[in-house]
Amino acid sequence: MSLLRIGTRRSPLALAQAEEIRVRLEATGVIADIVPMSTSGDEGARADSSPQGLKGLWIDTILDALESGEIDLAVHSAKDLPAEEDEGFTIAAVPEREDPSDVLICKEPGELRGGALIGTSSVRRRAQLLAAFPGLEVVDLRGNVETRLRKLEEGEVDAAVLAAAGLSRLGLAPEHARALPLAMMVPAPGQGCLAVQARDDDDDTIAAVAPIDHAASHRALDAERSLMWRLGGGCALPLGAHATVGMKAVSLTAVIATADGTTVLRVETEGATPEDAAADAAKDLIAQGAERILAEVETG
């Protein structure tokens, strides 16, 4: 087939992710070029300007280019995708997942002292951090990975939480970093996964990327996205979800927490399919009172 064009954002992490897909495809004999693009989010647009909210801001231009045929594939951090698949597109491949955990990076060695500032822009991380470290203060910390690490080094915060996968893909290994265990911090749905999107009627491209799909990682992502969809989740929802795939079942751990961390709802389910595991998790979370938390998020 002809040269494939991979659309991606221009950030260092997005380009590293696209390069990972290009190299994986090249190993199967498929040649591709990377097409860097700017999205509405990169241009500073507001979340209320996107029909898909905050997540839609980081993919809109790329999906427009995919729909028009300007590119053949779009590569995203799976956690950046809205829960509902856009009409006309499909996640054609999910390569083997990187470490999905969150990492706590401290400016200085040792344990954090009372009153220390932990930086994150994620409502999910904020809620779980406040539950795990009630004596600490969580403050807003924005920017790409390099910017947040620089702010940490400059002393704007005492610690920051970032995704292990992002650090790994950028080849970064900060000092005084430790992975937060699943019992303390359940990652975002899709964290550590790359989603390779194609037009759902582009059979040749879908077939070309099929060899780089990792079935277990794809099924785990399906479970986490299904749960997010069932709960109406987006970037503003303090939802964590992590699925693992065994020989006969899909296991799913999920949490929903109030923004202040005072209430944390946690469930662990198992199902024959990703959808079964997600349906049971959603049912159990709602039974514990998740709808009240969701309503509070919607009303702000």
- Residue 80 catalytic? yes
164 lies in a domain?
A: yes
Per-residue pLDDT tens digits for 36-83: 998 765 545 444 444 444 444 658 789 999 999 999 999 999 998 888
Question: Which H helix or E strand runs over 12?
Answer: helix 12-27
From the list 60, 80, 102, 202, the catalytic residue is 80
Q: Strand 89-93 and strand 159-163: pairing?
A: unpaired
pLDDT band at 235 (very low <50, low <70, confident <90, very high): low
Structure tokens at 175: 């000092």
Structure tokens at 182: 């699943």
CA distance 109 to 107: 7
Which CATH number characterizes residue 242's domain?
Answer: 3.30.160.40
Q: Are residues 83 and 158 in the same domain?
A: no
HSE at residue 207, side-chain half, CA atoms within 13 A, is 5
User: Residue 209: which of 108, 93, 292 has the closest Cα?
Assistant: 93
54 lies in a domain?
A: yes
Tell me what the mean pLDDT of segment 285-290 comes to: 95
Whole-model pTM?
A: 0.91
224 lies in a domain?
A: no
Which CATH number characterizes residue 112's domain?
Answer: 3.40.190.10
Which residues, 6 or more positions from 175, have their beta carbon under 8 angstroms from its beta carbon? 109
271 lies in a domain?
A: yes
Q: What's the domain count of the chain?
A: 3
Per-residue pLDDT tens digits for 238-278: 899 999 999 999 999 999 999 888 999 999 999 999 999 99
Quick one: pLDDT at residue 42? 55
139 lies in a domain?
A: yes
Q: What residue numbers bound the domain in which 28 lies?
A: 4-94+194-213
Q: Are residues 150 and 40 in the same domain?
A: no
pLDDT band at 137 (very low <50, low <70, confident <90, very high): very high
Q: Are residues 90 and 106 in the same domain?
A: no
189 lies in a domain?
A: no
CA distance 67 to 61: 10
Structure tokens at 223: 């479970």
